[in-house]
Structure 1
Amino acid sequence: MRAAVIVRPGQVEIRDIPRPKIGDYQVLVEQLTCGVGTGTDRKLVEGHFKGFDTYPAVLGHEAVGRVIEKGKKVRSFELGDLVMRPGLETIGDGTSLHSGWGAFAEYGIAGDATAMAEDGVARPEHGFLDLYLSQQTIPRDMKPAHGTMLITYKEVLSAAYRFGFRPNASVMIFGLGPVGLSFTRFAKVLGLGPIVSVDSHESRRALGRELGADATFDPRSDDPVAWVKHHRPGGLDFVVDAVGVTNVINKAMELVTFNGTICVYGIAPQTSMQIDWGKAPYNWTLSFLQWPTFQEEAATHHQLVGWLQQGIIDPDRMITHVLPLERLNEGMEMLKERRALKVVIDLKAK
């Protein structure tokens, strides 16, 4: 089957790899679409994703696929179901090719977490993965591309709950990619305000305002600190780094209120910095959340499916390009140059 393989950092090729085989608690999935992650996928390709160094590896983690085969103990999935987050676990002999979640492929695997729990085998020694918890079904009439965006929504909403977003709290969000725009939208839906978003692209600032931001700034010419001193002289309850720039942490020291929270969601290439809290209040919290748990993601699933069906969230506002697998490198370059907002790969397109 065809798959996108990171041959070595900086080099991605479409190659033929072995088709996966399923176990008793697994389903085989025909992959339909897979989103390109501007953070995780790019860092895996560039070779500086923290904790990952096993190359060559099959890329991709934001897939939606259709169940085409069931293991004999599977009870939570039916043939034809649309499943989120299927990927690859062991590939071939497991030594010559590794999984960077492995969703940019023609086929993938999902696990039945519920059946394994009911049978008392939801443990690693029986092959259980926490990832199975988030491999949930979506309505069969939902566009698969929308399902890929739902993965981002689940990650971000679960992070917003973990950070402690609450009604009437003020927030400033740095970065208006899909993650920052999702934070902006959820802040609005959850009743926060004022909501301030910061990005250097006017088109993204405009979309941020449409999704709920009360004010937006261009960091190259505007001064968010001056705005806060004038409109919120006590500071902001939350300041969110949604882009992965370490300097945002020090900038947030001038913005956060007493007992406020600096929320670091974006994954920066640098893993160290000098923090200067000279301009911060006496009490503040620095909260890193760069790996939402699959349990917390799963808990947001039905809420987000409902919001999507009600039109409260609209993935088409985010998805700017749908490309075939052979144009994956082009899509990643478009994201790097910020010529695209969200790229989805159509794995059925030729």
Structure 2
Amino acid sequence: MNAITPVQARTMKAAVVSGPGQLRMETLPLPKPGAGQIRVVLEGCGVCASNLTPWAGPEWMQFPTEPGGLGHEGWGIVDAVGENVESVGIGDRVATLGHHAYATHDIADENAVVRLPGEFDGQPFPGEPLGCALNIFKRSDIKAGQTVAIVGIGFLGALLTQLCAAAGARVIALSRRPFSLDLARRAGAVETILLDDHWQIIEKVKQLTQDRFCDRVIEAVGKPWPLDLAAELTRERGRLIVAGYHQDGPRQINMQLWNWRGLDVVNAHERDPAMYIQGIRDAIAAIQAGRLDPWPLLTHRFPLERLDDALNMTRDRPDGFLKALVVYA
């Protein structure tokens, strides 16, 4: 838990991205929650790959960011509530969908937090990506006995491997990193393929599926080539699920292939905040039921002052890396 107690706190610290690849820390007055809002003393925040494009400084990016901005995977303890808040109270431990969580405190709407069960005390809980994984899994319509290829085994792909394997699917995991393939096997994948040669991969999957290809293919990279490959691995009348976050420009796709195979294509990114909240609740239930085990996948931790190192590691993805957290102890 954060070392700054609600009684002691009068100010907060927040990270500000001041330019491409540049970070500074600011000390600010502690904000007060308005009606229907809560304030959270944050214990930490997950580092999301969606931060990497803003971190690189594209032309459309405006600097400096708002204090704490880009951070959206926070969790911590409620230390103040505004008027008309009824579902959570001071002292509750929550996952939050606040959007300024690269800071020691954040304000969130009452309906944008989920209370965490006591059995999770002491464990980090970046709720947003966990909820995202559950929402993607639900929209993938995974059934026992299906063959499911997961293209890209980062944090999200590893979570989906666990969920699909627990549902009784035969999982084929594809990644460019041997470390990730080893992890996917431990998560329940029955086959692993190095993500290198396009046509060799297609031939390998043909052999593994008796030329039928896969009932479901989840693309979890966010780059053009893995998306093209994912379509090639999807069987006729199969479902291609786009889980990668494609934020670096337009895509050209092989619509002839998509048409010919009659693919169902699902963009699995939710935009309704209520769906994210439900996903977090579903993730809690999945952990309690033993279908999901996220904690071994949280591989690296940094103090808030080293958010730049956490972002750079998320970008460079060295061997052994899967998910970075910034923690405020």
TM-score band, normalised by the shorter chain?
0.7 to 0.9
TM value normalised by structure 2? 0.86
Look up the match of 2:3.
none
Look up the match of 1:207.
183
Letter matched to residue 201 of structure 2:
P
User: In the TM superposition, what whole-angstrom CA distance separates every residue of 1:186-209 from its partner, at most 9, and x where no partner exists?
Assistant: 1112222x2111112111101101
User: In the TM superposition, what whole-angstrom CA distance separates every residue of 1:112-152 from its partner, at most 9, and x where no partner exists?
Assistant: 23xxxxxxxxxxxxxxxxxx2xx11102442465311x432
Q: Which has the higher contact order (CA 8 A, sep 6+)?
A: 2
The correspondence for 1:80, drawn from 84, 91, 101, is 91
Query: 1:106: Cα distance to partner?
Result: 1.2
Query: 1:83: Cα distance to partner?
Result: 1.4
8 Å CA contact retained: 1:250, 1:277: no
1:320–1:104: structure 2 CA closer, same or farther, 3 Å change rule? same
SS at match of 1:17: strand
Look up the match of 1:216.
192
RMSD over aligned Cα, in angstroms? 2.3
The correspondence for 1:254, drawn from 232, 242, 258, is 232
Query: 1:292: Cα distance to partner?
Result: 5.0
1:251–1:221: structure 2 CA closer, same or farther, 3 Å change rule? closer
The correspondence for 1:56, drawn from 51, 58, 65, is 65
8 Å CA contact retained: 1:176, 1:204: yes
Letter matched to residue 244 of structure 2:
G
SS at match of 1:238: strand
8 Å CA contact retained: 1:2, 1:16: yes
Distance in 2, matches of 1:282 and 1:312, equals 32
Query: 1:259: Cα distance to partner?
Result: 0.9
Query: 1:262: Cα distance to partner?
Result: 1.7
Look up the match of 1:103.
101
> Map of 1:30-49 to 2, 5 A cutoff?
30-37=41-48, 39-48=49-58
1:165–1:48: structure 2 CA closer, same or farther, 3 Å change rule? farther
Distance in 1, matches of 2:144 and 2:34, equals 45
1:17 equivalent to 2:28? Answer yes
SS at match of 2:130: helix
8 Å CA contact retained: 1:60, 1:102: yes
1:252–1:24: structure 2 CA closer, same or farther, 3 Å change rule? closer
8 Å CA contact retained: 2:44, 2:124: no
1:160 equivalent to 2:107? Answer no
Distance in 1, matches of 2:76 and 2:322, equals 23
Query: 1:279: Cα distance to partner?
Result: 5.1
Letter matched to residue 213 of structure 1:
A
TM value normalised by structure 1? 0.81
User: In the TM superposition, what whole-angstrom CA distance separates every residue of 1:184-234 from its partner, at most 9, and x where no partner exists?
Assistant: 111112222x21111121111011011111111112268321122222112
* Amino-acid identity (%): 25
> Map of 1:172-211 to 2, 5 A cutoff?
172-192=149-169, 194-211=170-187
SS at match of 1:191: coil
SS at match of 1:314: coil
SS at match of 1:146: coil
Distance in 2, matches of 1:48 and 1:318, equals 30
Letter matched to residue 292 of structure 2:
I
Look up the match of 1:92.
none
The correspondence for 1:272, drawn from 247, 250, 263, is 250
> 175-184 vs 231-240, which deviates more?
231-240
Query: 1:52: Cα distance to partner?
Result: 6.6
Counting matched residue pairs gives 311
Distance in 2, matches of 1:277 and 1:27, equals 47
Distance in 2, matches of 1:66 and 1:79, equals 8
User: In the TM superposition, what whole-angstrom CA distance separates every residue of 1:77-126 from its partner, at most 9, and x where no partner exists?
Assistant: 12110111253xxxxxxxxxxxxx2101111112223xxxxxxxxxxxxx
8 Å CA contact retained: 1:59, 1:102: yes
Distance in 2, matches of 1:282 and 1:336, equals 35
> 3-12 vs 206-215, which deviates more?
3-12
Distance in 1, matches of 2:224 and 2:145, equals 27
1:337 equivalent to 2:316? Answer yes
SS at match of 2:232: coil
